[in-house]
Amino acid sequence: MSSKYGAVPSASAVVTGDIMVEVEAPATLSAGYKFDAMYDGQTFSVTVPPEGVTKGQRIAVPFRPLMPTAEGTGEWKDGLCGCCKFGCCHAHLCCAWCCPVALMGQVLTRMKMSWLGNAAVETEYRSTFRKTLYVIIVYFVLGLIFATPSPELTKINGAYVDVSPTAPTWQIIVNNVLNLSFGLYTLIVLTKLRAAVRERYSIQEEHCAGCEDCCCAFWCGCCTVAQLARQTADYDVQGVMAIHCESISELSFWFICFDCTYEATGSSP
């Protein structure tokens, strides 16, 4: 399996130079797995050796920069409704359906963007997914605290009447503001993310010129974020790994597939 971060998935590689560099394994990985690393400002692919590696272990690998070409750009890999391309139980589809904002955070990281949907430096975009998770957690916790009672319908004199306790006005206002804020955050960031993906892959708008990204994010956010996930990853090559995570930082690293680029140190052989 392999993983490409921030690179056009269909790009071809040109091998240059013959320098050996040391890379610190970002996690415990099995033989043959691939991830991207960076040396001297250039990204290259690292293949885990036959014996595998443990987290923190340093391995010597050849430095062969990947030079992306324009091949395969200019169009979406599949349509907005191609969610079941890899099966109805594929991780990206399950996440898009159950928690689309989490998947949005992953794609933001691949695109090297902040949790607010802006271009970010490396020290910032590495924490994008984690910050997105915090937003989700805060929203659900506050949602439970300020949730209004669910309707309780009882039949009285032949008519159904809501007999649930009435929530205080302030609680209703806070609950509505919370839901509106989370909805606006998702809409705005997903719109900016889709625009960034289209720009990277040179994809033109086909409908609703000038507001296609916003329309897709508004009317079908789940399908939109799923399409962006497929566009920015090689799921047909990578597959999906299920790995036990002991912390939020590890979860942000392993979520469905790798999303970070790692620094390497090198020396001439």
| pLDDT 10s digits, 157-207 | 878 887 778 889 999 999 999 999 999 999 999 999 999 999 988 888 888
Percent of the chain with pLDDT over 90: 35
Are 131 and 123 spatial neighbours (Cβ–Cβ below 8 Å)? no
Position 43 scores a pLDDT of: 67
Model pTM score:
0.67
3-state secondary structure of 68: coil
If 0-12 CB within 10 Å is exposed, 13-18 middle and 19+ buried, where does residue 131 land?
Answer: middle
Query: What is the spatial distance between Cα 170 and Cα 195, in angstroms, rounded to a whole number?
Result: 37
Which tokens in the block code for residue 185?
Answer: 């955050």
The whole-chain average pLDDT of the chain stands at 78
Instruction: List Cβ neighbours of 37 (8 Å cut-off, separation of 6 or more).
Output: 21, 23, 43, 44, 45, 46, 61, 261, 262, 263, 264
Q: What is the pLDDT of residues 26-82, one digit of tens each?
A: 778 888 877 777 777 666 778 888 888 888 888 888 887 655 444 445 789 888 888
